[in-house]
Amino acid sequence: MSDLSVQIGPLTLANPLMAASGCFGYGVEYAGAVDLSTLGAVVSKGLFLKPREGHPPERIVETPSGMLNAIGLQGIGVHRYIAEKLPELRERRATNVINICGSTLDEYVELARILSDADGVHALELNISCPNIKEGGITFGCSLNGTFDVVSAVRKVTHLPVIPKLTPNVTDVASFARASEEAGADAVSLVNTFLAMAIDVETRRPKLSNVVGGLSGPAIRPIAVRMVYECQRAVKIPVIGMGGIASARDVLEFLIAGATAVQIGTANFVDPFIWSKVLNGIRDYLQRHDVARVADLVGTIDTSSREKQWTSS
């Protein structure tokens, strides 16, 4: 039997599959479809201190092999999350990574403090990359100093693993991974969605109420793989990869590129029963390639004959 467990800083995940933030509700919505304890982790929908209404519809639109979303981080806020969702998640023995969002540095710190005292929280993912709200964390995520400051500030107030979630909407994502590492992050996760838009040519109106939104799904996968590859070369902390993963093959591609774990988002919308299928596919692969531990695959990309063609930093 292969060992599927992976290590994210001090946190051991039963397997490398995490449900991506914003794509799995608060987790409890899917408890009827999947045994939450069998996932590597459940990443909560992004939480602010206070409840938020989000954007008016239309909030999503399908694009070739992908989708745009501009939900606007509708959510119940951290206090209701702890009171209403966390007890059930604890009971179902989920590994809970809480995605936190702030408009200010103080708000991230306050959220980290509150969640550090809550029972059943296993790690914090810092949302500094949502492209859809002006007042949110993207202002931190698009500045190296901002990224460093928010990660350091949260690091100081929590014992929990800290995982900044990086935006791909920057020139050099690896430098943001380095800034995160220097600030004390336990891991980085990437990529959040690509800022994008779609227009109805008949009406000449944007298809999303927010005009622009974030692109996810298989369409972005090759870019995400490249960015994960760049980041794992730049830092020693684990990289959690995501972007268009829809099969075991896709997971393996990210692991080989250097991801220690992965998140599945959009594909869960299409198939809420995807998790066991992907895990079985990974087991088959490990057996076929005689690999004892899934962790042994991480970063095993062989560029020996192609290194010359790699021109980026």
Pick from 62, 91, 106, 200 the residue near another protein by CB under 8 A. Answer: 62
Which residues, at least 6 apart from 252, have a Cβ–Cβ distance to it below 8 Å? 282, 285, 297
Q: Is 201 a residue that touches another protein (CB under 8 A)?
A: no
Q: How many residues bind another protein (CB under 8 A)?
A: 35
* Token couple for 187: 């891991």
Minimum Å gap between C-beta 63 and another protein is 8
Select 147 or 268, whichever has its Cβ closest to another protein: 268
Residues 21-40 that bind another protein (CB under 8 A): 22-25, 29-30, 32-33
Minimum Å gap between C-beta 88 and another protein is 14
- Tokens 């914090």 belong to 124
With CB under 8 A as the contact rule, which of the stretches 19-27, 124-132, 178-186, 226-234 interacts with another protein?
Answer: 19-27
Would residue 130 show up in a list of annotated catalytic residues for this protein? yes
User: At CA 92, angle to CA 118 and CA 42, rounded to 5?
Assistant: 70
Minimum Å gap between C-beta 285 and another protein is 20
Minimum Å gap between C-beta 17 and another protein is 16
Handedness of CA 243, 24, 165, 277 (dihedral sign): negative
If one counts every other C-beta atom within 10 angstroms of the C-beta of residue 55, the result is 19
With CB under 8 A as the contact rule, which of the stretches 139-147, 165-173, 185-193, 269-277 interacts with another protein?
Answer: 269-277
Minimum Å gap between C-beta 290 and another protein is 30
Q: Is 9 a residue that touches another protein (CB under 8 A)?
A: no
Query: Can you list the alpha helix ranges (DSSP code H) found in the chain?
Result: 77-80, 86-91, 105-116, 138-141, 144-157, 173-182, 221-234, 248-257, 266-270, 274-288
Q: Is 217 a residue that touches another protein (CB under 8 A)?
A: yes
Catalytic residue, chosen from 23, 130, 142, 231, is 130
**Which candidate, 218, 210, 206, places its Cα nearest to that of 247?**
218
Q: How far apart are CA 110 and CA 105, in angstroms?
A: 9
Q: How far apart are CA 246 and CA 66, in angstroms?
A: 11
Q: Is 184 a residue that touches another protein (CB under 8 A)?
A: no
Q: How far apart are CA 177 and CA 182, in angstroms?
A: 9
Question: Any idea which residues carry the catalytic annotation?
Answer: 130
Query: What does the binding site for another protein look like in residue numbers (CB under 8 A)?
Result: 22-25, 29-30, 32-33, 45, 53-54, 57-62, 64-67, 69, 71, 74, 217-219, 246, 266, 268-273
